Structure 1
């Protein structure tokens, strides 16, 4: 039997036209949107506003990186937002109980990883359960546990400067959360682009039966993608809790999974699996971030952002169907 993640071929090669359709469409739309906002909003291209867009969307990008692995592998994780909220509650409760902040950070990531691996990965990869049903159930379960543990009350983390630095700090003028997001994105890109494991994910998402015949352990690859998504949820929980200076079991990370899915799909990934990359996901996140920022600058009520995100998600699904037909 060949190595678990060994596969001799890379992700399927595509014509230049197919690549342009998959990756350049949202990029062109992003450019047009930036030009429009720059012409109508004088504060849009200022350094402070650009940094604000990057900083406020760093959590979304970290989560979207993990979700990219899952979607390329032919799955979906609807629980990633609730897992982020639960991780924030666990982090804040440990810190408020006197646990060393560094140990609390480590335990938060490990706990989220364990939850995502056991409740999502094992049930889907080895139990044969439908990924939509499992992750939808976990969405409610994790959010419910977060509410039970906290009684729905935010728990402050102001006593732990390290958490505040991770969430909203800076060093030599560079935003810490943006640097963390860039690091996570770079690691994700290297894994998907340059490793046998990354090629195995594309193979499993593209054709699981063929990947199995090629010697890939399909179940183990799928388990690993949900574990990776859970790791990014744990990291995002620390960043979000630090930025908000407290856990937010009710409103914290609300809708994060849908925004992340929209970003990944806009960036060229497909619900059918086997396509997508981290660069495209970054463009998708920027597109959503620029729209949200433009709504704020224009003085439009914030609840319109949810309408815009929902409309963009529908458009992303329609674009995915068009790409698959071609």
Structure 2
């Protein structure tokens, strides 16, 4: 089976061609990034101030983590609309769990933090598992399944908190992790870099990564080649849920409270936008997480620039929507051009 799958992923349509087509579509991204940076540096000196740069990098780190999971799902031919709700659920579950453990084992910060992290990441994995099983086993559309779990997950997060922020976490978790800086950079940036490196390794060096490309590129061919499509599809959704939960935990540590208002539709839309603008094809089988990270940085800088220019917050989603439409249109035009050739 491994030999057959390796043969499948070695086909031009799965490995070599996705790299070429990807580079063709994302050539405009670095140019846009440089253009925005140079333009804002000339317009507003606050843009390149140390505090603003740290804020940009921190927010880009959050978006990168969640977008990496979203990208993997889309590459596999799926869709995950529940990531924003998972961020909120993981936040409140982590904070609540830490509060409960702290009441039973006061002063044992290591146990409290470990229990809270396990519960938060576990909640994300659970939502991802439900999504994956419904898609892989029941053959339900990923869009419909994750739309439902998004609503249910957000509702559970609100039920747990009644809309009130949850406190009671150890100060060491907030002070020494969430708000700490190493070599002048927030913890979230290092976590995002680790996640990105792991995801690059998974995509390039593991059978799981190759199989996900194969499944997204041609599911029938992957099945014929002996690839276990069901468990690999489930794996993409579980990983997406875990990474969304990790984002929620990092936000909780930074703010110092668990909140059901974290994530939401905005983070979900931004994660999809980062993936699409970063060259991930909505048809599956194409995309690289390192380019998605660049796209996340671009979107974060763009949002920051719009804020500095005092653009009405109600208009900002318009810019995001236009960029997404352009990216999808370029993807479709590139596909049609390739078919003509």
TM over 0.5: yes
8 Å contact from structure 2 (residues 248, 262) kept in 1 = no
SS in 2 for 1:43: helix
**Structure 1 Cα separation of the partners of residues 22 and 132 of structure 2:** 31
SS at match of 1:255: helix
SS in 1 for 2:89: helix
Relative to its length, the structure with more helix (as a share) is 2
Equivalences for 1:14-29 in 2 at 5 Å?
14=17, 18-29=21-32
Paired residues for 1:1-326 under 5 Å = 2-3=1-2, 6-8=5-7, 9-10=9-10, 11-14=14-17, 18-99=21-102, 100-117=112-129, 119-157=130-168, 159-326=170-337
Distance 1:5 1:166, change over 3 A: farther
Per-residue deviation, residues 293-319 of structure 1 (Å, max 9, x unmatched): 101222333333333223323333223
Contact 1:157 1:242 in 2 (8 A): no
Contact 1:4 1:216 in 2 (8 A): no
Aligned length: 324
The two structures, once aligned, show a CA RMSD in angstroms of: 2.1
**136-145 or 55-64, which deviates more:** 55-64
Is the Cα–Cα contact under 8 Å of residues 87 and 262 in structure 2 kept in the other structure?
Answer: no
Deviation of 1:156 (Å)? 2.3
1:164 Cα shift?
4.8
Q: What 5-or-longer segments of structure 1 have no aligned partner?
A: none
CA shift, 1:245, in A, is 1.8
Deviations 1:156-190 (A, max 9, x none): 25544214544332123232100000100110011
Q: d(CA) in 2 for partners of 1:16 and 1:215?
A: 24
Deviations 1:180-238 (A, max 9, x none): 00100110011001112111111000000001111111111111100110110121110
Q: Output one character per residue of 1:264-297: Cα deviation in whole Å (capped at 9) or x when no partner.
A: 0000001100000011101110111111110122
Segments of 5+ residues of structure 2 without an aligned counterpart are 103-111
Measure, in 2, the Cα distance between the counterparts of 1:145 and 1:5: 44
How high is the TM-score relative to the length of structure 2? 0.89
Helix, strand or coil at the partner of 1:202: helix
